[in-house]
Amino acid sequence: MFNLLRFLYYLYRKPINWLGLYFRRYFNFIAPNKVNLIRHRIILSDFPSFNQITICEGAGIVEIGERCSFGYKLGGFHRGGSIELQARNKEARIKIGNNISTNNNIMLCAANYIEIGDNTMIGQYVTIMDHEAHGINPNERKKVGVIGKIIIGQNVWLGNNVTILKNSEIGDNTIVATGAVVSGKYPADVIIGGIPAKIIKNL
């Protein structure tokens, strides 16, 4: 009897898992991004796993590599949140490498170019912006400020609540500690943290 029940469990588990996968794909990604998918503003190497609503906004291009996963049900603050990938204008591009995994509620906002290398892990409430949202000059506060770019290397680990600002570069394998504000260029194989982020130690 036990063997029969176990056989039936494994027989029906796979179709149920597939249904759940397609359900999440549709409601967490396809439905919110119908327009940009139709207009070919989203380039997918394969179909990533979308465990939280993921919205690609703007007139630019969002490119997502193979075996990527967005959101994590057990990562905290999962319900009611979303992931936003904003390539704001036609010239903007967000390039996400292969095997990227993120926690919940992250935002990437590009007015020019953001690149994330393969095998990078991104914690929750991470913000990555390649430009100043408003000008520094008091008379230009309603305009977009300085626009730069951001390059994040391979196998980087971004902790929770990290903010990465324009013209930042992070080398391969580097760890960015929770709550850090990153502005500038940092080498590979180090741990950085603080406001502004500084090298804490070598790996």
The enclosing domain of 26 has a CATH number of 2.160.10.10
As a whole number, mean pLDDT of residues 167-179 equals 98
Q: What is the pLDDT of residues 109-135, one digit of tens each?
A: 999 999 999 999 999 999 999 999 888
3-state class (DSSP) for residue 73: coil
Mean pLDDT check: name the lowest of 31-40, 127-136, 137-146: 137-146
- The answer to whether the pTM exceeds 0.85 is yes
Say which residues have a Cβ less than 8 Å from residue 122's Cβ, sequence separation at least 6: 100, 101, 102, 103, 106, 116, 158
Q: Write down the pLDDT at residue 21.
A: 65
Per-residue confidence at 18, pLDDT binned at 50, 70, 90? low
As a whole number, mean pLDDT of residues 79-103 equals 95
Catalytic residues: 134
Nearest in space to 100 (alpha carbons), one of 33, 49, 60: 49
Q: Write down the pLDDT at residue 8.
A: 46
Find the domain containing 125 and state its range: 2-202
Q: What's the CA angle centered on 108, arms 102 and 110, to 5 degrees?
A: 150
Q: Residue 15 above 60 pLDDT?
A: no
As a whole number, mean pLDDT of residues 43-50 equals 91
Number of folded domains in the chain? 1
